[in-house]
């Protein structure tokens, strides 16, 4: 190949690489349209195809030249795929695949099986022409008003490009068959020049189409935003991100806060004392910096007249005229907070009453100990546990000696006080996470002591007796002491020894009876 042709090939390649770079930059500016990647890759493949062409004259690298035209066709097909997706048309994937396979089969057949340069040229030109007309057809059918001018312009470019290759195919058929690339020198030069011009024009047109659609979509988005902004039931305001200056508010903001638009536009929230706590805006800004959006953050705001209200704020970063802004929506939740407070108070009251009711249901009202109802339930639970080998349960039954005489002498009020003091002392003695003390009835009390053996329960029974003596409650009606005393019966139950709680209670009651019979103020172990 002559140097002039090589230079033209280099220029075409550089032009295509430059155009691919321009498309890539366009994509980086606004990543909304990922279909641009098809155009970038396609343009790169076309440039690579042109770069590989001169290798046909280099003996050692000639094998690489055979893929130059397939690369070009593949790149052109990627332009078609990208254009189809950009125009939001349904892409039939089989069509570009079929075209590429058919081209490769026919092209390589007339290269390796029947080497015919003219036929290859006709095939190449025909396929390029067909793909170009396909793209032109897509563009001519475009109905989007914002793209009509640019799409028609681009369609004309691809029509002319396809027409040129169609003419070249016809000329190649008419002319004598070419044997070497030198025979096609004129056609090759014209093709290279046309490629430079056409590729530059369609790249420019594609970029124009992209920006037209971006502008229209941004305009529609802003109109939609403005409509939502003006008709929102929430108070909304738009502020500059960097300094917080208010640029717009809706009618609901005026109604909620008492400020007119003229009073707030051009001022900050600090200027109009909108934030009760000026540090709250910093929290919103930090959330927006981290996430780009903040949702349902509760703050207290201040109206023009100085009154305050609770509000939920949601905000989002937006761009207006290339500058970052914040659009915020505020919903008054003062009434909701009042209702929530009342509901919380009601719930707390109900919970308190429920706890009291539960406590009263299992508690003796006089002594504060567990009552007989809870005792029965606890005994059933403990007896169920005794079905496991190695478990045990001890019981202590206690009775105040000569308590009837105490009531007769001192009165029932003093009797109640005596019961309360005895109960408190027994609770202190029976300390333990699982131990309970209950009022069995009248002046009788019972201790339920899980996992306590005979020796320990006998010691605890004696400790209980001595603790009541230490209270030194005067009892002039007692036959055995000048102070209130108790009689104690103790019993330890092991697994499978007894069939019921009644039997255990009978044994410990008998032990208590025996303690009374033996002179009272003593502890007896039941058997």
Which of the following is catalytic: 443, 459, 469, 499?
443
Per DSSP, the residues of 365-429 read TTT-SB-HHHHHHHHHHHHHHTTSTT--EEEEEEEETTHHHHHHHH-HHHHHHHHHHHHHHHHHH
> How far apart are the C-alpha atoms of 339 and 75, rounded to whole Å?
66
Chain centroid to CA 168: 60
Burial of 1 (0-12, 13-18, 19+ CB in 10 A): middle
> How far apart are the C-alpha atoms of 443 and 404, rounded to whole Å?
9
> How far apart are the C-alpha atoms of 190 and 193, rounded to whole Å?
5
Widest Cα–Cα separation across the chain = 147
> How far apart are the C-alpha atoms of 416 and 422, rounded to whole Å?
10
> How far apart are the C-alpha atoms of 489 and 465, rounded to whole Å?
11
**Catalytic (active site) residue 443:** yes
Cross-strand bridge partners of residue 293: 316
Q: What is the DSSP letter of 112?
A: I
> How far apart are the C-alpha atoms of 366 and 356, rounded to whole Å?
15
Rounded (5°) CA angle 331-333-337 = 165
**Look-up of token digits 């020049």:** 193
Residue pair 394/452 in contact by the 8 Å Cβ criterion: yes
CA atoms within a 13 Å half-sphere pointing along the CA-CB vector of 269: 26
Q: What is the DSSP letter of 478?
A: -
> How far apart are the C-alpha atoms of 153 and 133, rounded to whole Å?
14
Give catalytic residue positions.
443
């Amino acid at each position: 190949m002559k140097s002039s042709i090589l230079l033209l090939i280099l220029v075409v390649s550089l032009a295509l690489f430059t155009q691919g770079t321009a498309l890539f930059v366009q994509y980086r500016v606004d990543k909304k349209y990922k279909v641009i990647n098809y155009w970038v890759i396609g343009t790169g493949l076309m440039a690579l195809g042109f770069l590989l062409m001169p290798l046909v004259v280099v003996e050692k690298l000639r094998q690489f030249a055979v893929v130059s035209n397939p690369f070009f066709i593949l790149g052109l097909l990627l332009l078609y795929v990208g254009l189809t997706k950009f125009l939001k048309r349904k892409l039939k994937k089989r069509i570009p695949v079929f075209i590429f396979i058919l081209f490769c089969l026919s092209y390589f057949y007339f290269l390796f099986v029947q080497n015919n340069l003219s036929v290859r040229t006709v095939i190449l030109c025909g396929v390029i022409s067909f793909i170009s007309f396909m793209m032109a057809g897509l563009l001519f059918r475009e109905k989007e008003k914002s793209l009509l001018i640019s799409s028609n312009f681009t369609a004309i470019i691809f029509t002319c490009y396809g027409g040129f290759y169609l003419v070249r195919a016809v000329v190649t058929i008419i002319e004598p068959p070419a044997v070497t690339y030198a025979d096609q020198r004129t056609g090759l030069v014209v093709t290279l020049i046309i490629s430079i011009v056409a590729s530059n024009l369609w790249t420019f047109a594609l970029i124009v189409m992209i920006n037209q659609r971006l502008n229209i979509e941004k305009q529609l988005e802003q109109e939609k935003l403005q409509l939502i902004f003006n008709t929102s039931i929430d108070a909304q305001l738009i502020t500059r991100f960097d300094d917080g200056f208010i640029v717009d508010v809706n009618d609901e903001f005026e109604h909620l806060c008492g400020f007119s638009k003229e009073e707030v536009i051009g001022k900050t929230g600090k200027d109009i004392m909108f934030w009760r706590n000026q540090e709250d805006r910093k929290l919103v800004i930090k959330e927006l910096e981290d996430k780009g959006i903040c949702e349902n953050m509760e703050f207290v705001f201040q109206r023009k007249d100085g009154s305050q209200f609770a509000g939920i704020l949601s905000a989002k970063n937006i761009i207006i005229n290339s500058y970052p802004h914040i659009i915020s929506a505020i919903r008054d939740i003062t009434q909701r907070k009042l209702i929530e407070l009342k509901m919380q108070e009601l719930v707390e009251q109900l919970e308190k009453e429920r706890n009291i009711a539960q406590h009263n249901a299992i508690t003796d009202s006089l002594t504060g100990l567990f009552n007989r109802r809870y005792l029965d339930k606890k005994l059933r639970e403990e007896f169920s546990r005794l079905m496991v080998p190695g478990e045990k349960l001890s019981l202590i039954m206690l009775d105040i000696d000569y308590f009837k005489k105490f009531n007769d002498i001192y009165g029932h009020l003093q009797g109640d006080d005596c019961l309360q003091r005895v109960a408190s002392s027994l609770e202190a003695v029976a300390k333990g996470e699982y131990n309970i003390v209950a009022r069995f009835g009248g002046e009788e009390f019972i201790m339920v002591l899980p996992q306590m053996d005979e020796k320990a329960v006998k010691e605890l029974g004696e400790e209980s007796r001595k603790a009541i003596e230490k209270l030194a409650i005067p009892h002039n009606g007692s036959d055995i002491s000048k102070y209130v005393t108790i009689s104690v019966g103790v019993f330890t139950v092991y697994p499978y020894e007894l069939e019921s709680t009644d039997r255990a209670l009978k044994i410990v009651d008998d032990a208590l009876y025996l303690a009374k019979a033996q002179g009272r103020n003593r502890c007896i172990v039941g058997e």
